[in-house]
Chains A and B, each alone.
Chain A
Amino acid sequence: MKKDEIIRVLKIMIRNKLSLLGIIIILILVVTAIFAPFLAPYPKQAEGQPNLEEKLQPPSSKHWFGTDYMGRDVLSRVIYGARISLLVAITVVGLGLLIGVPLGLLAGYKGGAVDAVIMRTTDIFLSFPPLLLALLISVTLGRGLVNAIIALAVSWWPWYTRLIRGMAVSIKEKPYVEVAKTMGVSNLKIIARHILPNAISPVIVQGTMDMGSAILEASALSFLGLGVQPPTADWGLMVSQGKDYLLNYWWYPTFPGLAIFITVIAFNLVGDTLREILDPRLRRRYL
């Protein structure tokens, strides 16, 4: 993608009200995550310090989102939870790209048996329900944030491999690659200099769009007790802990769940518009 094309896409994104909303929410989320210690009214409680005198207080001017079963300020914990969610989104997609992109490039560029082996492997991974795969890996490796991230990345990479392989196959046939080959440029250099830069942009777009789903699936793992462990402030875990208090202390699971929902919706709003702009079949709507 060229520079002026990126600027044009950005302009369309900002003009569309829904995607603008998504961009604003994501920016707020990033700022919240970075400045969490300064924004949270009770940073110590967000890090897990109990405050047993104020157990399960309803929302008030002192605790906007109420307090949890250990008396900790839910707002502060929701603010700190933004850090975990962004961390999960970036690392899951990043790891997925790290595994998926080289394999896709290799499959597309080499072709033949290498291609067949890699692509059949992705077929196998894609035939398996992702959450179930993540569940199994988490059960095996043990509970915890790192294992949950690994589990999700393992079920994520085949999508990127498929995507970039398709791009690599078509770029490989381009005259400039042929010329580079006849001039004796090494395969590694051709992949790094020519194939990768030309194939990467749709993968980046896909990756951005996937961050919402990564947050959603990670929160499901946390909810099942297989992700982040207490006392860390994590949205999925807070909903899970608040589950038993739902009927009498509604604020406890409601606000962290709302945070997950709004974050995922923001990523999907941006992703949805991006897809409509970049999908050639729908492009005439915008261009």
Chain B
Amino acid sequence: MKLWEYVVYRLILAFVVIFFVVVIVFFVSHVIPSNPAALWAGAHPTPEEIEKAREELHLNDPLIVQFYYYLGGLLHGNLGVSIRTHNPVAEDIGSAFTATLELILVAEFFALLIGVALGVYSAVKKDSWIDNASRLFAISGVSLPAFWFGMVLQLLFFKQLGWLPLSGRVDTVVMLEHPLHVITGFYIFDSLITGNWTIFQNSILHIILPAATLAMYPVGLITRQVRSMMIEVLQENYIRTARSYGVPDRMIYMKYALKNAISPALIVVGLSLAYTLVGAFLVEIIFNWPGLGRYATYAILSMDYPAIIGVVIVVATAYVFINLIVDLLQMYIDPRIRV
């Protein structure tokens, strides 16, 4: 298969997957018994109000007609209106998505930093106690139930030490006293460029614990990947040659070996990005982080199906495209994968 054929195949596949997701999620969520019209009509609705709501929501039409309306809206970027919040779902998801994305990006950044350092170090000191310890650490990272580890961190850093806030994205009082001019939706970035130092500091303090919780899984993956790549690379002839020429060890590790070990680490970051997107669901619940996960949980609890469908479609689409980009990058970097 030629490269462009592969790209076209994967693109078609991506759209097929997303279409299936839309179909399945739509029909599944309409099978669940619930009474969205009553929710829509507000508190203490009269039967007439409920009937009017059923009309507005097209609930009296056959399912296939409802699907037609939904699909039409979807093509215009319209995900419907949330039954719980009465806001357009796309709007709700938009603001939640940036909160989640900020969390994921901070987590992945630190995961990459720590993972590469640990991986290189344990490859260089292979089979020493340091190597064993870092292997144990890496395996711990992929074995930790995130929802539990977040609680342990809260106990330690909030309750015992009192260093960090318990939950949330920024203190409500601080936000009221120093209102943030939201530009991108990333609080750290927005407060930095508008010079709002109080919010900047406050939002950094708030992101540390959830980001650390979320980073554990990618740290484990990256450490293991970098370690095994480094071990392989260090056995290559050109490294032996460099050694015999008297090139200092530090330079061999950092310049020659790491260069070949870093691209697989980046691939792992890409792969884990999709995973952390879903892992963030659990972390957000623990830390009351106003992201997609928390939004989805509320949506599930109140059977707010336009919101459920919206979240699933957005997450699945992001997941499919992240994986697609990672796979293509991987093929570009490592020609051995091209079949």
Please report A residues at the B interface, Cβ cutoff 8 Å.
Answer: 17-18, 120, 123-124, 127-132, 135-136, 139-140, 212, 216, 219-220, 223-224, 236, 239-240, 243, 246-247, 250, 253-254, 257-258, 260-261, 264-265, 268-269, 272, 281-282
Q: Is B326 an interface residue (CB 8 A)?
A: no
A247 and B17 form a contact (CB under 8 A): no
**Interface CB pairs A-B, < 8 A, 10:** A128-B316, A139-B28, A220-B146, A220-B147, A250-B159, A257-B145, A261-B140, A268-B142, A272-B224, A282-B228
Residues on A with beta carbons closer than 8 Å to the beta carbon of B29: 139
Residues on A with beta carbons closer than 8 Å to the beta carbon of B24: 136
Q: Using A140-B31, A253-B151 as known contacts, say yes or no to A120 and B13 having CB atoms under 8 A apart.
A: yes
B316 and A243 form a contact (CB under 8 A): no
Q: B154's contact among A124, A129, A223, A246, by CB below 8 Å, is which?
A: A246
B316 and A132 form a contact (CB under 8 A): yes
Residues on B with beta carbons closer than 8 Å to the beta carbon of A139: 28-29, 32, 300, 308
Contact stretch, chosen from B192-200, B253-261, B277-285? B277-285
Closest-by-CB residue of A relative to B31 is: A140
Residues on B with beta carbons closer than 8 Å to the beta carbon of A220: 145-147, 282
Closest-by-CB residue of B relative to A269 is: B139
Task: Please give the distance in Å from B326's CB to the nearest CB on chain A.
Answer: 12
Q: Using A129-B277, A129-B319, A223-B282 as known contacts, say yes or no to A216 and B143 having CB atoms under 8 A apart.
A: yes
Residues on B with beta carbons closer than 8 Å to the beta carbon of A123: 13, 17
A265 and B145 form a contact (CB under 8 A): no
Q: Using A128-B316, A129-B277, A224-B297 as known contacts, say yes or no to A18 and B152 having CB atoms under 8 A apart.
A: no
Residues on B with beta carbons closer than 8 Å to the beta carbon of A250: 155, 159
B151 and A246 form a contact (CB under 8 A): yes
Task: Please give the distance in Å from B282's CB to the nearest CB on chain A.
Answer: 6
- Beyond A136-B312, A257-B145, A265-B143, list 19 extra A-B contacts (CB 8 Å): A127-B13, A128-B21, A128-B319, A129-B274, A130-B278, A139-B29, A140-B28, A220-B145, A239-B151, A243-B147, A247-B158, A250-B159, A254-B151, A254-B152, A257-B148, A257-B149, A260-B145, A261-B143, A264-B144
Q: Which of A17, A120, A124 has the most CB of B within 10 A?
A: A124
B278 and A216 form a contact (CB under 8 A): no
Nearest 7 CB-CB pairs, A to B?
Answer: A257-B148, A264-B143, A265-B143, A127-B17, A129-B278, A131-B278, A140-B28
Give the number of residues in B that approach A within 8 Å (Cβ atoms).
53
A127 and B139 form a contact (CB under 8 A): no
Chain B residues 145 to 185 lying within 8 A of chain A, measured CB to CB, are: 145-149, 151-152, 154-155, 158-159, 166
B152 and A257 form a contact (CB under 8 A): yes
- The docked-state distance in angstroms from the alpha carbon of A159 to that of B45 is 49
Majority DSSP secondary structure for residues of A touching B: helix
Q: Is B69 an interface residue (CB 8 A)?
A: no
Task: Please give the distance in Å from A65's CB to the nearest CB on chain B.
Answer: 15
Q: Is B132 an interface residue (CB 8 A)?
A: yes
- The docked-state distance in angstroms from the alpha carbon of A127 to that of B320 is 6
A212 and B143 form a contact (CB under 8 A): yes
Q: A260's contact among B148, B158, B166, B308, by CB below 8 Å, is which?
A: B148
B148 and A247 form a contact (CB under 8 A): no
CB-defined interface of B286-299 with A at 8 Å, one 1/0 digit per residue?
10000000000100
B28 and A136 form a contact (CB under 8 A): yes
Closest-by-CB residue of B relative to A126 is: B323
Q: Is B136 an interface residue (CB 8 A)?
A: yes
Chain B residues 92 to 143 lying within 8 A of chain A, measured CB to CB, are: 132, 135-136, 139-140, 142-143
Q: A272's contact among B28, B139, B148, by CB below 8 Å, is which?
A: B139
A219 and B278 form a contact (CB under 8 A): no
Closest-by-CB residue of B relative to A140 is: B28
Residues on A with beta carbons closer than 8 Å to the beta carbon of B285: 224
A261 and B145 form a contact (CB under 8 A): yes
Residues on B with beta carbons closer than 8 Å to the beta carbon of A219: 145
Q: Is B25 an interface residue (CB 8 A)?
A: yes
Residues on B with beta carbons closer than 8 Å to the beta carbon of A131: 278-279, 281
Q: Is B16 an interface residue (CB 8 A)?
A: yes
